[in-house]
Amino acid sequence: MQTLFINANDYVSPRDLHLALQRLLHLPAHYGCNADALYDYLSERRETVNLCILSHGNEDVASALRKCAMVVEDLGGSVKEL
């Protein structure tokens, strides 16, 4: 199990959020930077991912983060807002 702490205030765009997820989750360089691509890669992993959300960031980043959180939950991980 891997737990990520996300402070979305650190990101100005959904792409920035996804690039951080790419780095934190060691996703390949061709990662598509969207919720569908995140689902594809996480569904292939044996390890579940948990998200701890420290802040939601601006409206666009918050929307992308909600989609990522749904992916994590759909794949058996947990999402907590701190």
Contact 5, 54 (CB under 8 A): yes
Q: Domains along the chain?
A: 2-81 (3.30.370.10)
Q: Is the pLDDT of residue 46 over 90?
A: no
Q: How confident is the model at residue 82 (pLDDT cuts 50, 70, 90)?
A: confident
Which run of H or of E encompasses 60?
A: helix 59-74
In this prediction the pTM is 0.90
- The average pLDDT across 51-68 equals 95
Model pLDDT for residues 6-38, shown as the tens digit of each residue: 999 999 999 999 999 999 999 999 999 999 999
- The average pLDDT across 65-71 equals 97
